[in-house]
Amino acid sequence: MDTIGTSRTRSVDHTIQLFCVWSGVAFVVVFLASWLTAGWIPPQPPSWDAQTLAAFYAEHRTAIRAGQIGALLAAGLELPFFLVVAGHILRIERGRMPVLTMLYAAGAVILNALVVICCLGWLIASFRTDLEPTALQSWHDFCWIVFVSAFSPYVVMMGSLGVAVLTDETPDPVWPRWVGYFSLFVALSSFGGAVAVYFKTGPLAYNGLIAFWLVMVGFMGWITIMIVCVHRWTVRQPVGAGSVFEAQPPVPVNPA
């Protein structure tokens, strides 16, 4: 009876992991579709004056609202995938203090929360049709600057994953070593957005090549690679096999 129960539990665990992986796929599709709908790809230039931006909102108000609501849905779909990745980092750190797991999970949750805040801010900017153009511009700029400039949780998340991959000594690694180097590159690519507040034009403006496009393309490339690797690892594990996340016996400590 215990064997049947254990097998059923492992099957459920396998199914949940696959659900989290496909949640990552859904995030990519919903997020990109939502931002294209809102007109956020490409972003509006920060060089626009308040009247021009207000006219854009007036013309696309329904699409902006629908797009940001969709992006909020995407943020919910992103979390399960981020946290199944955290589970695999925990597997790498099994037997030692899971510092990298905690750093990755904390960075992922904070990053997700910041994206939610930005989407809510853009919704607020679109809420009142009689909002002063300068107030609308302030909301709009606030959200974009937060989105591209809040690099610290992004660096913590990507950096901890990169270090975990490069120090992985498990017999069946989820990610090849080059994914670790790529994650570190993606982490470093976000530093350009930190100075977006100083620029309204050029590659370092919040719609620029470095501040926006390098980070956006890098992140989408990174999450696609992660989805493929985690999915491949998950499907090649026998459903009835013992879970790699099962508790291990404690290491005996020699008395002093």
Q: Is the dihedral of CA 175, 176, 182, 183 positive or negative?
A: positive
For the entire predicted model, the pTM comes to 0.87
Q: What is the pLDDT of residue 9?
A: 56
Give the model confidence (pLDDT) of 87-135 as tens digits.
Answer: 999 999 988 899 999 999 999 999 999 999 999 999 999 999 999 999 9
Mean pLDDT (whole number) for 74-93:
95
Is residue 1's pLDDT more than 50?
no
5 pLDDT band, cuts 50/70/90, is: very low
Comparing 3-12, 62-71, 195-204, the range with the smallest average pLDDT is: 3-12
Closest C-alpha to 204, from 145, 251, 245: 145
Give the model confidence (pLDDT) of 139-190 as tens digits.
Answer: 999 999 999 999 999 999 999 999 999 999 988 899 999 999 999 999 999 9
Q: Mean pLDDT, the chain, as a whole number?
A: 90
Alpha carbon separation from 68 to 19, 53, 140, 221 (Å, rounded): 24, 17, 13, 22
Helix (H) or strand (E) holding 99: helix 99-127
Q: What is the pLDDT of residue 242?
A: 44
Give the model confidence (pLDDT) of 48-63 as tens digits.
Answer: 999 999 999 999 999 9
- Terminal C-alpha separation, the chain: 43
Is residue 252's pLDDT more than 70?
no
Closest C-alpha to 158, from 223, 245, 228, 81: 223
Q: What is the pLDDT of residue 237?
A: 76
Q: How far apart are CA 35 and CA 63, in angstroms?
A: 9
Is residue 250's pLDDT more than 80?
no
Number of H helices and E strands in the chain, helices first, is 7, 0
Is residue 68's pLDDT more than 50?
yes
CB 67 within 8 A of CB 120: no
